[in-house]
Amino acid sequence: MAAPDARARTVVFVDGVRTPFGKAGPKGIYAETRADDLVVKVIRELLRRHPELPPERIDEVAVAATTQTGDQGLTIGRTAALLAGLPKSVPGYAIDRMCAGAMTAVTTAASGIAFGAYDVVIAGGVEHMGRHPMGEGVDPNPRFLSDKIVDPSALVMGSTAENLHDRFPAITKERADAYAAASQAKYADAVKNGKIGPELVPVATRSTEHGWGLATADEPPRPGTTVEDLAKLKTPFRPHGRVTAGNAAGLNDGATGCILADEDTARELGLPVAMRLVGYSFLGVEPEVMGVGPVPATEKALKRAGLTIDDIGLFEINEAFAVQVLAFLDHFGIADDDPRVNQWGGAIAVGHPLASSGVRLMTQLARQFAERPDVRYGITTMCIGIGMGGTVIWENPSWNGESK
């Protein structure tokens, strides 16, 4: 009997979609919509867009949620797969790495593909922060504080962002506000130019007050936001602080999903190849400055891939807080307004439904690759609560070989 081929297979990102993102709370578009139904919409849309993929060829469904309770509990990858009508032979599971849940669903499933355990996987994430606020039901071990394992501020994400301002005084509130206003403007331009929209899945909504509706656009963005507007906002995490609702991502609801495959399988089935996975890394940092996590995670991922930051032609950086993005840019010597960075805006504008955001970044990068054959490599990166960072490096299959 011949020994199995031990070489890792090439993992590709086929396609990604997402629901419009909503504002969390009783007035948000998804106030009376279940989280698992948002995931079902995403799975069904992926199958609708790719009839060439036989549902029985899906080997796994990996769905992330940070607060795994209620309609985000019960092994949501499996339950959503059943609700979406996938064959009962298709397994599924839930995963949690806070903000990087969907990113981890992708990297974990991709590792299974590379190893040969899977050929095709659906991976994504959901967060209904209106139904399940961040930290709902958690019981942090008192030793975290009594044994001084973490600083008390480490358990409040906004406070960690204030700590990051302390660590990097060159990142002022004015600079953070300017970055936030630019994110809103870039997002608005992307919508106007049709860059944001094709990846959205319309979702039927129901409201006791307003009846039935249809969510077709993101709810959080504030087009026309100015630096002057942002300067007037309160700093809820510290008196006279620098972090506001305007230079941070909001509390949001939404779901994302993507199809991953072995490249040979994708070619066999006629599935498109939007990106190739090059490598990834997750790394821990001090929890009280969790926003700096993308820096060492990116350095580690680049080193393992044999690349440098200069090889990266496009960046999709999750904007949990403006200060966190700016710390990354400063470390790598990248200008605040570098056109390679979040060219269609980011989470400050569109929202950040925690565990879902990683696949939003990937979906946008894949669509940007298709427009940029001059770019070979791009990264998706994000900070993660309790002091971590995650980075995934992707290769553009449309690269024409004439530039990096």
Catalytically annotated residues = 99, 352, 383
Provide CB contacts within 8 A for 267, sequence distance 6+.
Answer: 273
**Residue 131 in tokens:** 């139904």
Spatial distance between the Cα atoms of 197 and 187, rounded to a whole number of angstroms = 11
Which own/partner contact pairs does 197-202 have at CB distance under 8 Å and 24+ positions apart? 198/367, 199/16, 199/17, 199/18, 199/363, 199/364, 199/367, 200/17, 200/18, 200/19, 200/20, 201/17, 201/18, 201/19, 201/20, 201/41, 201/42, 201/45, 202/20
Provide CB contacts within 8 A for 107, sequence distance 6+.
Answer: 280, 282, 390, 392
203 closest CA partner among 220, 218, 190: 218
Provide CB contacts within 8 A for 138, sequence distance 6+.
Answer: none
Looking up tokens 């507007």 gives 229
Provide CB contacts within 8 A for 8, sequence distance 6+.
Answer: 114, 115
Alpha-carbon dihedral sign for residues 105, 106, 112, 116: positive
98 vs 116, 351, 370, CA distance in Å? 27, 15, 30
